[in-house]
Amino acid sequence: MKNKILKAIGALALVTSIVFQTNAQFQRGPRLVSPQINEDNSVTFRLKSLDADKVTINGSWMPGYYGKEAEVTKGDSGIWSITVKDLAPNLYTYAFLVNGIRVVDPQNPQIMGEGTYFENFVIVPGKESEVYAIQDVPHGTLSKIWYPSPTLNKTRRMSVYTPPGYENSNEKYPVLYLLHGAGGNEDSWASLGRANYILDNLIATGKAKPMIVVMTNGNSWSAAAPGETPVGENTERPGDRGMSNRNGFENSLVNDVIPFIEKNYRVLTDKNNRAIAGLSMGGMHTQTITNSNPEIFSYIGVMSAGLRNNSRFGGNNYNKEAHVKQLKALQESGVKLYWIGCGEEDTAKEINIALRKLYDEIGFGYIYRESQGGHTWANWRLYLSEMSPLLFK
Amino acid sequence: MKNKILKAIGALALVTSIVFQTNAQFQRGPRLVSPQINEDNSVTFRLKSLDADKVTINGSWMPGYYGKEAEVTKGDSGIWSITVKDLAPNLYTYAFLVNGIRVVDPQNPQIMGEGTYFENFVIVPGKESEVYAIQDVPHGTLSKIWYPSPTLNKTRRMSVYTPPGYENSNEKYPVLYLLHGAGGNEDSWASLGRANYILDNLIATGKAKPMIVVMTNGNSWSAAAPGETPVGENTERPGDRGMSNRNGFENSLVNDVIPFIEKNYRVLTDKNNRAIAGLSMGGMHTQTITNSNPEIFSYIGVMSAGLRNNSRFGGNNYNKEAHVKQLKALQESGVKLYWIGCGEEDTAKEINIALRKLYDEIGFGYIYRESQGGHTWANWRLYLSEMSPLLFK
């Protein structure tokens, strides 16, 4: 609370001292550090609350994560704390629950989210987590840009990452189109996915080629992320949650997004310089787009998604024969990489297995990466960091 | 809570139905609308909580705002609500307090903030508030870009707004350098200030000329906003809070930022196509920069700031004679606009009066706008919307 109020009055600038003198409750105490990464890579989380009866923490290191809580202990001066041990180097997300109410850690400005959902994060240092941190390396530019979508009859918003040096050269770059899952939007891959910083780090170390990353909004009924939609826009979802066979988003990517990017950015416009990848719903979008348009992309990534061959996954009209025919055409077009990632406990594991079974059956080549954990951003960040070095090579 | 969990599992995409079936507590009820703008422009705020003992709301329509609360009433099915009447068309910010703990409205994705401070907002429609909303007009691009600052020995981050059509033309544009206050950062003017949408609207209606807006980070000790700083960077503030006579930020704007923008963007590089404005600390920065460099800007805006002529405002070494000499040089250089804005209850009012008194005394011309209210973003958004139409004309 105190910190929030301090932030709110921070703009007072030069007159801060007056406010402090007349409002005793705003006085800043000794700086509370949270999270604190200790020498043994344990992490101490702290929250100051004189009034709370109970404080717990929900963190992505907990098996199952959502709904899991650990008790935070009250100490002197209303400072509640917990130290979490044995954390492998990674990016972890968390939030406090104060008397059952979920709040972000007011000491930690590392916040990520989408829509109205926010949580803090902390990066436990080590070789495996270096790629997620903001390193002292050249940084690309992250832009929020609006483009016309005649297909969806809207002006829509997307995020575009241009690699370091883009503004200062005449070079042309390959493009990765990177698609989010249901519940997400054009901000998700940069916020929850750390895509721009992952690419900065991989490019700086020579692991990935400099590339442009285009992060679209896959919700065909919407122009932009919640809160960024124009006044008067109907943002009610259709019943099909954009997963229908109308393929509005998929068509708009091919007919609107790619031409816009290739007209307005310095990009290489051949198949071997285009990649597409997506997670969950975006993995389904990726399949629909590449199956229907075998000539566009040489690099394809499907994360935490699978075969939509039964009614539960919108596959009422699944036609195996037509699907196989598409895959054969895609295979013949010359795919250089078909990358599949899935978590061991991923909710999409069953349909992912079905997809790979079909690919094996027809001899459709792919690389498969199985990781620990479930249907989470921890995995999608990992997949991006492992897949993007394989692109355009 | 429920909404947050729904968001968290939203990425499950196609498997949503499974989750709903196995986790009864996640089931979505009838959609709760909050805020709801009623026909008489009253606004109803709603929050669902079965467990809360007390819910209040803190909103920017309340005189004094910070620390002010109104009781929210419990109704059926754990839905708490309050209707606020007689709200003039404007953008209002608010948050709920649930058992005293400040939370954002989980139904409202319109969120703004800086650092760890977030609040919701709602725009009550009407002529006066149209400029703050996202209208169905062409939108410029908002980019987060990193640039070298030899002056501060860091690579630093800033926000750059390029107007609609920038990417599709060879036109060169004038530039407004727009500075935040203490507690803020390079994200503040776009988030809390709505600068990109204000400019979109003013440009679309022909009220403002198409321009580039450069929003820097005025905290000389920092590379970027909290949470966006590179690993290992020392982000402790110096005791002087960046307000010292060393003028690190001010020098970096002149020596690093302007040359970078003029090299990397298509901009008009003469004095009559450069403007600078800032709020609070940024208004002090603006004065320091323009007083020391009379040849750079023809358009100058000072918002909620004033004369640093006593020790309370870092003016221990105030030298009136030197100041007047600078102002005379600035006057002679040909300032086309010197715009001053201040709130009736602004904490900077006293020093603002002192500044205008000095200007009157020496015949230094300016336009003065006094608005209702205090040292708030409501005023700074208003000032930007009123000042930017006067630029470059």
The CATH number of residue B71's host domain is 2.60.40.10
**Residue B291 near residue B300, CB atoms below 8 Å:** no
Render pLDDT for A67-123 as a digit per residue (tens, 0 to 9): 899 999 999 899 999 999 999 999 999 999 998 888 999 899 999 988 888 899 999
Residue A229: its chain B contacts at CB < 8 A?
134
A243 and A339, same structural domain?
A: yes
Render pLDDT for B269-321 as a digit per residue (tens, 0 to 9): 999 999 999 999 999 999 999 999 999 999 999 999 999 887 666 667 899 99
Q: Which residue in A259, A250, A251 sits closest to A281, CA to CA?
A: A250
Residue contact B102–A105, C-beta within 8 A: no
B170 and B93, same structural domain?
A: no
Helix or strand run (H / E) with residue A3: helix A2-10
Q: Which residue has tokens 């401070």? A: B117
B2 and B63, same structural domain?
A: no
Share of chain A above pLDDT 90, in %: 78
> Is residue A75 a part of any domain in this protein?
yes
Longest CA pairwise span in chain B (Å)? 77
Residue B145: its chain A contacts at CB < 8 A?
141, 167
Return the pLDDT at B238: 56
Among B116, B133, B155, whose Cβ lies nearest the Cβ of A109? B116
Q: What is the CB-side half-sphere exposure of residue A97 using CA atoms within 13 A?
A: 16
A164 and A120, same structural domain?
A: no
B112 and B205, same structural domain?
A: no
Return the pLDDT at B116: 80
What does the pLDDT average to over B114-138? Answer: 94
Render pLDDT for B342-386 as a digit per residue (tens, 0 to 9): 999 999 999 999 999 999 999 999 999 999 999 999 999 999 999
Render pLDDT for A166-197 as a digit per residue (tens, 0 to 9): 988 899 999 999 999 999 999 999 999 999 99
The Cα of A50 is separated from the nearest Cα of chain B by a number of Å equal to 11
Render pLDDT for A51-62 as a digit per residue (tens, 0 to 9): 889 999 999 999
Q: What backbone phi and psi angles, to 5 degrees, belong to A310?
A: -145, 165
Q: Is B14's Cβ below 8 Å from some Cβ in A?
A: yes
Q: Which residue in A10, A11, A16, A14 sits closest to B352, CA to CA?
A: A14
Residue contact B229–A114, C-beta within 8 A: no
Render pLDDT for B192-230 as a digit per residue (tens, 0 to 9): 999 999 999 999 999 999 999 999 999 998 999 999 999
> Is residue A20 a part of any domain in this protein?
no
Helix or strand run (H / E) with residue B147: strand B141-149
Q: Looking at chain A from residue 94 to 153, which residues have their Cβ under 8 Å from any Cβ of chain B? A: 98-111, 114-118, 123, 125, 133-136, 138-139, 141-146
> Is residue A258 a part of any domain in this protein?
yes
Q: Which residue in A32, A81, A78 sits closest to A52, CA to CA?
A: A78
Domain boundary among B75, B108, B132: B132
Q: Is A234's Cβ below 8 Å from some Cβ in B?
A: no
B148 and B68, same structural domain?
A: no
Residue contact B10–A184, C-beta within 8 A: yes
> Is residue A348 a part of any domain in this protein?
yes
Q: How far apart are CA B357 and CA B307, in angstroms?
A: 10
Q: Which residue in A1, A91, A102 sits closest to A48, CA to CA?
A: A1
User: Which residues share a beta bridge with A336?
Assistant: none
Domain boundary among A62, A96, A126: A126
Residue B26: its chain A contacts at CB < 8 A?
none
Domain boundary among A126, A153, A176: A126
Residue contact A182–B144, C-beta within 8 A: no
pLDDT at B185 over 90: yes
Render pLDDT for B137-162 as a digit per residue (tens, 0 to 9): 999 999 999 999 999 999 999 999 99
Residue A375: its chain B contacts at CB < 8 A?
11-12, 15
A147 and A95, same structural domain?
A: no
> Is residue A2 a part of any domain in this protein?
no
Q: Which residue has tokens 């809160």? A: A227
Return the pLDDT at B354: 96
Confidence bin at A16 (pLDDT 50/70/90): very low
* ipTM field: 0.89
Q: How far apart are CA A168 and CA A170, in angstroms?
A: 7
Q: Are strands B36-37 and A367-371 parallel, antiparallel or unpaired?
A: unpaired
Q: How far apart are CA A122 and CA B112, in angstroms?
A: 22
Residue B13: its chain A contacts at CB < 8 A?
181-183, 243, 280-281, 284, 305, 348
B49 and B22, same structural domain?
A: no
Which of B12, B21, B58, B132 is the best substitution to test chain A (most A C-beta atoms within 10 A)? B12
Which DSSP letter does residue B154 get?
E
For residue A184 the two structure tokens come to 């997400």
Return the pLDDT at A6: 36
Q: Looking at chain B from residue 146 to 205, which residues have their Cβ under 8 Å from any Cβ of chain A? A: 146, 155, 157, 164, 167-168, 180-184
pTM given for the model: 0.91
> Is residue A134 a part of any domain in this protein?
no
With CA atoms as reference, the chain A residue closest to B307 would be A14
B222 and B101, same structural domain?
A: no
A147 and A107, same structural domain?
A: no
> Is residue A9 a part of any domain in this protein?
no
Q: How many CB atoms lie within 10 A of CB A204?
A: 17
What does the pLDDT average to over A297-314? Answer: 87
Which of A5, A9, A15, A120 is the best substitution to test chain B (most B C-beta atoms within 10 A)? A15
The CATH number of residue B344's host domain is 3.40.50.1820
Residue B106: its chain A contacts at CB < 8 A?
116
Give the total number of structural domains in chain A: 2
B304 and B354, same structural domain?
A: yes
Return the pLDDT at B178: 98
Residue B313: its chain A contacts at CB < 8 A?
14-15
For residue B289 the two structure tokens come to 């920069």
Q: How far apart are CA B381 and CA B198, in angstroms?
A: 8
Q: Is A17's Cβ below 8 Å from some Cβ in B?
A: yes
Which structural domain range is residue A268 located in? 141-390
Among A106, A134, A227, whose Cβ lies nearest the Cβ of B116? A106
Q: How far apart are CA B207 and CA B185, in angstroms?
A: 28
How far is residue A124 CA from its own chain's centroid? 19
A323 and A193, same structural domain?
A: yes
> Is residue A352 a part of any domain in this protein?
yes
Q: Looking at chain A from residue 348 to 387, which residues have their Cβ under 8 Å from any Cβ of chain B? A: 348, 351, 375, 377
**Residue B354 near residue B316, CB atoms below 8 Å:** no
